A = this chain, B = another copy of it.
Amino acid sequence: MNEGHLPIGRFARLCRLSVKQLRHYDELGLLPPDYVDPDTGYRYYRPDQARAAMLIGLLRSIDVPLPSIGRVLSGDTGALGGVRDRMEAELARRERNFAALERILADGLPRPEVTVVREPARRVAVVRDVATPDRIGAVTSACVTRLLAAAGDPRGLMIGLFPLDLAPELTVAVTVETSEDVPGTSSDVLPGGLYASVTHVGPYDQIPLTAHALLAWVGEHGHTPEGPLREVYVSNPATTPQDRLVTHLMIKLEDPE
């Protein structure tokens, strides 16, 4: 221990962290003091450790978890990239949800018109994939692309199928009505019967809001939803502005005995 050493409080002020934080980072091995007095336990830092401390502070300010910070500090150059990707996704999610909140503030809680319709059974070509809840949008559009590639120019509307349980892993499917087998897809029959249906107008990433309202309606009217949620993509997203995209959301009701 020599001249330049700083006790923890002074060092904390220098790098604008709290004493508690520094002790915690020491415990985790993120930023061990240069010297610890074996008798008193006093921590002493070298001033040039401030740079690392400030990097920690910056990364913390964008909510990078401490273990990732550890990886960055120990020279894992790839770690920063991963951090950035996660940040980006997180920011996007925040913005989406923020938009939903704005919508609620403007229009109040959505209570869209729900109708009960009788749907025929439909023979469809299906493309499936497994997604995590935050990647539903991306995986679904990938499925759409694959289905379009396989089925060519479809006559009917495409219908997305999404499980009601938002499990950590869920299988999404995109279908289109067809009379014959389509290579590269599997075939299936969507059951007919009574469906509760609601029309969502607006961007796809605000569908959950309307879907929730539909589920609430189903509950309030004493029905039990059955099977996956259907999304019928009425508009062409390539030619329709986001605000005008029309999607029918439908959920099968239990058969009236």
Proximity string of chain A (95-106) to chain B, C-beta cutoff 8 Å, 1 when within and 0 when not: 101101110110
Judge whether B212 and A58 touch: CB under 8 Å: yes
Q: How distant is A46 from chain B, measured CB to nearest CB, in Å?
A: 8
Judge whether A15 and B212 touch: CB under 8 Å: yes
Q: How many residues of A contact B (CB 8 A)?
A: 52
Within 8 A of B (CB), among A47-70: 47-48, 50-51, 54-55, 57-59, 61-62
Binds B, one of A31-39, A113-121, A213-221: A213-221
Binds B, one of A80-88, A145-153, A182-190, A239-247: A80-88
The CA-CA distance from A102 to B87 in the complex, in Å, is 11
The CA-CA distance from A83 to B83 in the complex, in Å, is 27
The CA-CA distance from A64 to B94 in the complex, in Å, is 11
Tell yes or no: A24 within 8 A of B by CB.
Answer: no
Judge whether B212 and A16 touch: CB under 8 Å: yes
- List residues of chain B with CB within 8 A of the CB of A6: 219
13 A-B contacts, Cβ less than 8 Å apart? Answer: A13-B164, A13-B165, A14-B215, A15-B219, A47-B220, A47-B222, A48-B216, A50-B219, A54-B216, A58-B101, A61-B93, A80-B105, A91-B98
